[in-house]
Structures are given as C-alpha cells and as structure tokens.
C-alpha cells in the first residue's frame, strides 16, 4: 500500500522510498507530507515509513512503524525518552514570504502605530482648544495664519 498526497510528493536527492522497498520488499510503504505555518503553510516535511498494518478483530486497524526515512529528528537529553521533535526539511517560499510580510506589518503596527495615533489625537485636541499643534502654546489671541510665538511653527489650523 503506497498512500501519497496527490500533487504534493517531492523526492529530494534520490528516492528514499526505493531504499525502503529494497530493504523491506514484503512490507507496506507509506509516504506522508506534513506542512506547517500560519496563516500560510511555509515549512514542510516528508517522511517515508515502513508499516505493519493489521486488524485487531473489531474492524479497526492497528498501525506500527518499523522504519522511517527522510525525517530529521532532534533528541535532547532533558526530554522524555519517547518524545521526538521532527524538524521541517524544506521551505515553501511563497508561504514563507507572505507570512514574513504579514508579521512585519503587524509588528510595525504594534510598535509605531500607537505613537502615531497618540500624536494625531494630541494635535487634534490642541487645535480644537486653540493651542499650537506643535508645542501646546496658548494662541487664542494671535491671528490664525501667524506663526507660533513660542516654537516658530506654522499653526494655521488652530482656532
């Protein structure tokens, strides 16, 4: 049994499935791809397994992995014995680019957006109260198109 996702199979530098076929000619071979990323899928991993598929008598299949090829695993001493981390083996560049662009815009909005909004609100409040938009000097007695006597900025928008 060879189950592959349609249109998603990739074979890098030789065919790992062929090496499994020669080592385990009577076993079932499975190829799986796993992609991750948000909001776009940007990292992928392809794994090939030799499986033993049986039935437990209650119409459900049992699945046990005998051998795996094509997976980069990370094992640390401080992790539990049965835990494994599988590292992505290839990058989906369009998803990676779009995710990076989205996160850059969000980061820009979170870091620079509040300061700009605060300056805009402060300038509108000052103009409404008759103050200089730049420095907050009380301009109620000065002409509308005159420069601010305090900072020298053009404050034509003050009332």
**pLDDT on residue 11:** 39
Give DSSP secondary structure letters for 56-100.
-SSS-EEEEEEEEES-EEE--TTS-TT--EEEP-EE-HHHHHHHH
CA dist 89 → 2, 5, 36, 129, 147 (Å): 21, 17, 11, 61, 63
Answering whether pTM is above 0.75, one says no
Evaluate whether 38 touches 99 at the Cβ level (below 8 Å). yes
Tens-digit pLDDT profile for residues 22-70: 877 777 777 778 889 999 999 988 777 777 666 666 655 555 666 666 6
Task: Calculate mean pLDDT across residues 146-157.
Answer: 78
Judge whether residue 106 has pLDDT over 70.
yes
**pLDDT on residue 42:** 92
> Which has more pLDDT, 84 or 6?
84
**pLDDT on residue 158:** 41
Task: Calculate mean pLDDT across residues 64-84.
Answer: 65
Cα separation of 50 and 115, whole Å? 57
């Amino acid at each position: 049994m060879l189950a592959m996702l349609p249109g998603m199979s990739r074979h890098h530098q030789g065919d790992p499935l062929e090496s499994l076929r020669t080592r385990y000619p009577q076993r079932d071979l499975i190829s799986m791809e796993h992609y991750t990323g948000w909001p776009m899928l940007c990292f992928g991993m392809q794994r090939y397994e030799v499986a033993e598929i049986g039935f437990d008598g209650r119409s459900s299949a049992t699945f046990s992995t005998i051998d795996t090829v094509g997976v980069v695993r990370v094992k640390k001493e401080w992790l539990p014995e049965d835990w494994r981390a599988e590292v992505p083996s290839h990058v989906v560049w369009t998803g990676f680019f779009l995710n990076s662009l989205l996160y850059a815009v969000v980061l820009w909005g979170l870091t620079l957006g509040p300061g700009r909004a605060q300056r805009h609100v402060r300038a509108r409040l000052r103009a409404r109260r008759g103050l200089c938009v730049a420095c907050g000097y009380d301009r109620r007695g000065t002409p509308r198109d005159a420069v601010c006597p305090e900072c020298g900025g053009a404050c034509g928008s003050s009332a």
